[in-house]
Amino acid sequence: MPYYGERAHRLGHVPTINNAEIQRELSLWEASAAPAFDPEELEKLCVPVSALPGEGLSEAVAEVVTVDGSDAPVEVTVSYPSITVDFTRVACSILDLEKYRSAGKGRFVDQATLNTSHREYTFDVVLPGSGLRAPGLGELETWRKTLDRAFRTTVVNDVSTLTLADALLAMHGAPGSPSPAVLLTTCPTDNCRMFDTGVAVGPAGTTCPECGIDIYLSDVFRSHQDYRRSHQAAMTSAMSGMERLAMLGNIEHMFESETHPENVLRSTLFVADGPLATFGGLGPLKTPTQNYLDALSGFAASRGVVAPLLVGIEKGGEFADHANMIRDHIPVGNVMLLTREYHNQVAGRMSDNEYGDTNYYGRRFLYRTTRGGVLVITVPPKSGVNPYSGDGADDFDSYPSLRPVCEVLDDLYTYRYENAIIPLVLAHRAASLPRGVGHVALRRAAQKILGLPYTTQIRQANLFS
């Protein structure tokens, strides 16, 4: 890594290029990205949405609930070791689809129409980035304790008392019957022996039977593992986890507050930013999330309803890049089921890799909208089916929400941004933390509250990172 402002010598590359060892190493590789795909094979994986089951279901959808988050590490001092404060904002955007539709479906969306059909709820969480600790605690303990307090005090929307902690307990239970506690199988203390049977931790927390430290409900996130790698990793993981809890909390709120939850569930589309999957420290949340959604779709099916209508949309990444590359081979209005082999090819994995099993609670499809754009989506399977393995995983019929989801996405597709739909653009805007002047104001506020000197000269390299 160069020092800030350092420039390499103009001819610095010459010895590298001429190095025989480097030339030999390069000759051993081949490009794994962008493998060639046979257009005829691609089309075999496609089905017109109009041929899928679920005709008419999309007409009942009246509201789109979208959750998105953003984070900003703010460096508050130039002294060493540096001090950073992490600001996170999660936005829940609610679009009234009937109002939006009634205003007509133009090529470009009228801002005034959007303003009247859209409302949003946001919550902000501040976490100690680096160089900060509460009295008597280390930096990691301060981070964990602060995250837990945020979980217990942050509500998932403005009409509910359900907190992020409640959502986490709901996720580990079933719709309408949250688990009283979550089983934790690793201790946040470095080198503490893993619990043999797990330790149940509820909202009030507990202590580790081995090392005696305080254990919090939010430790289920395992953000201590990410934290040890980097503050940025922990913050990104915490934000991603809070997005998922906000989404699940909104679903759970509907379930708990309605006499006939199936009616509100069939008329609501939930949109998540990114695939329906958990990565890094959040990995252990995949199974409880899948079980919760499975129970919910089972409940809905018993009432003759297809729900939840939940979709994850990938704006970037290897599958979004791939979708753009092959877009013209997917007929307009068709949805393409990506086989596991196909996933492995795109992701550059070995052909026997069990793609999706560890992280995904939804199945990935490519959808060529009726307007010609392409979206990378994941939707959960019906009750009793795993999205990537076992009976029914590769059948279109195992995804009964696919047709209504695609049909609603058709209405919401926008040309203004690549791989985007209007609700995600709105949610992203609502979640955005300020840059420029606003960023400086955040830093100033942090400096003031922490009693640190007011400085404006922060290293430029980090200013807008």
Q: Which residues bind to Zn ion, rule: CB under 5 A?
A: 187, 189, 192, 208, 210-211
Cα–Cα distance for residue pair 309/380, rounded to 1 Å = 9
State which residue, 189 or 414, has the beta carbon closest to Zn ion: 189
Alpha carbon separation from 266 to 46, 95, 167, 304 (Å, rounded): 26, 15, 21, 10
> Based on CB atoms, which residue is closest to Zn ion, 188 or 373?
188
Q: State in angstroms the smallest separation of the CB of 210 from Zn ion.
A: 4
Q: For helices 164-171 and 139-153, give the axis angle rounded to 10 degrees.
A: 90
C-beta of 187 vs 376, nearer to Zn ion: 187
The least distance separating Zn ion from the CB of residue 65, rounded to whole angstroms, comes to 39
Return the number of the residue (208 or 246) whose C-beta is nearest Zn ion: 208
Between 83 and 187, CB nearer to Zn ion: 187
Q: Which C-beta is closer to Zn ion: that of 30 or that of 190?
A: 190
| Min CB(128)–Zn ion separation in Å | 22
Residue (38 or 196) nearer to Zn ion, CB: 196
Least distance CB 228 / Zn ion (angstroms)? 15
Minimum CB–partner distance for residue 107 and Zn ion (Å): 59
Residue 35 vs 138, nearer CB to Zn ion? 138
114 exposure class (CB count in 10 Å sphere: 0-12, 13-18, 19+): middle
For residue 213, the minimal CB distance to Zn ion (Å) is: 6
Strand 334-337 with 363-368, pairing: antiparallel
Cβ 271 vs Cβ 229: under 8 Å: no
**Is the link from the previous residue into 284 a cis peptide, with omega within 30 of 0?**
no
Q: Which is nearer to Zn ion, 208 or 425 (CB)?
A: 208
Query: What minimum distance in Å lies between the beta carbon of 215 and Zn ion?
Result: 8
When the beta carbons of 184 and 323 are compared against Zn ion, the nearer one is 184
**Facing residues of 368 across strands?**
374
Question: Least distance in Å: CB of 208 to Zn ion?
Answer: 3
Shortest distance in whole angstroms from residue 141 CB to Zn ion:
12
Q: What gap in Å lies between CA 44 and CA 14, rounded to an integer?
A: 49
- Cβ proximity to Zn ion, 227 vs 365, nearer residue: 227
Minimum CB–partner distance for residue 90 and Zn ion (Å): 30
Residue 145 Cβ vs Zn ion, minimum distance, rounded to whole Å: 16
Residues with Cβ within 8 Å of 80's Cβ and at least 6 positions away in sequence, in order, are: none
We find the least distance from the C-beta atom of residue 220 to Zn ion, in angstroms, to be: 15
Which residue number, 49 or 208, has a Cβ lying nearer to Zn ion? 208
